[in-house]
Amino acid sequence: GQNIDQPTEMTATEGAIVQINCTYQTSGFNGLFWYQQHAGEAPTFLSYNVLDGLEEKGRFSSFLSRSKGYSYLLLKELQMKDSASYLCAVTDSNYQLIWGAGTKLIIKP
Amino acid sequence: GAVVSQHPSRVICKSGTSVKIECRSLDFQATTMFWYRQFPKQSLMLMATSNEGSKATYEQGVEKDKFLINHASLTLSTLTVTSAHPEDSSFYICSARVGTGFYEQYFGPGTRLTVT
């Protein structure tokens, strides 16, 4: 079966750095997405990785290791507005998005 | 660019009635649209995939006669929840994609359905 695992909840302090991990087992791989979702709102796109390595975009970076079936999202200089759920999603061989359950990130002052 | 709208944003209906939710791609033509449902504190669950001009493909466990999907044009898809029941209360989100392969899915803002 297809499976994506990420922690259910994480807590971090404003101004700090947090890393949200995602491991996946899917039928084929055509890329991994990270989305941010605030409560009551639709997901918004953060990043896309299809090759191994680190993609940096401002305060957010995303890393992928295809051989390990592993990705992480790194958030630097945390702000209160970063409190949200972070969803990891993998595109399988049929280009269908397989979603993780999401990691709820709580930022404390 | 790449804006997807949904209407209505919130709807309350009585048990047994039907509700239609519209999903529009405002500035691009979406060959494929997706309908998701999300219950509180759970992840997105794909309900169906629809391609313009063809019948929707429903995920296992989703009743196609209850959740009617019409993708009549490259910019509009509708989801009709027929004979709604309180257990259908959920957050319904559509997304749209151009072409196949890697193309980012653009999400609508979602519709909160409450069935009383």
CB contact under 8 A, A40 and B107: no
Burial class (CB in 10 A: 0-12, 13-18, 19+), A8: exposed
What is the reported pLDDT for B116?
Answer: 96
What is the reported pLDDT for B100?
Answer: 58
Confidence band, pLDDT 50/70/90 cuts, at residue B99? low
Mode of pairing for the β-strands spanning A70-75 and A84-91: unpaired
What is the reported pLDDT for A2?
Answer: 82
Nearest CA in chain B to A91: B102
What is the reported pLDDT for A38?
Answer: 93
C-alpha distances (whole Å) from A91 to each of A3, A30, A95, A98 are 12, 5, 5, 6
Reported as a single tens digit per residue, the pLDDT across B17-68 is: 999 999 999 988 888 899 999 988 788 889 999 888 888 999 999 999 999 9
Query: How far does B110 lie from chain A, in Å, by closest CA?
Result: 6
Reported as a single tens digit per residue, the pLDDT across A65-100 is: 999 999 999 999 999 999 999 999 998 887 778 889
What is the reported pLDDT for B101?
Answer: 54
- B108 within 8 A of A42, measured Cβ to Cβ: yes
Residues of B in contact with A96 (CB under 8 A): 46, 49
Best to test chain A binding among B37, B43, B46 (most A CBs inside 10 Å) = B43
The answer, yes or no, to whether residue A102 has pLDDT greater than 90, is yes
Residues of B in contact with A30 (CB under 8 A): 101-102
Reported as a single tens digit per residue, the pLDDT across A18-50 is: 999 999 999 899 899 999 999 888 888 899 899
Residue owning tokens 């653009």: B106
Which of B49, B102, B112 comes nearest A50 by C-beta?
B102
- Chains A and B form CB pairs within 8 A to the count of 42
Query: How far does A22 lie from chain B, in Å, by closest CA?
Result: 14
What is the reported pLDDT for B41?
Answer: 76
Summarize the confidence of residues B92-111 as an average pLDDT. Answer: 80
The answer, yes or no, to whether residue A1 has pLDDT greater than 80, is no
B11, amino acid identity: V
What is the reported pLDDT for A54?
Answer: 96
What is the reported pLDDT for B103?
Answer: 62
CA-angle at A61, arms to A48 and B40, nearest 5°: 70
What is the reported pLDDT for A94?
Answer: 77
Separation of CA B76 from chain center:
10
- CA-to-CA distance for B62 and B3, rounded, in angstroms? 27
Residues of B in contact with A102 (CB under 8 A): 43
Best to test chain B binding among A57, A97, A98, A103 (most B CBs inside 10 Å) = A97
What is the reported pLDDT for B21?
Answer: 97
Query: How far does A51 lie from chain B, in Å, by closest CA?
Result: 13
- CA-to-CA distance for B26 and B116, rounded, in angstroms? 32
**Which pair of tokens denotes residue B78?**
């509708």
- A14 within 8 A of A108, measured Cβ to Cβ: yes
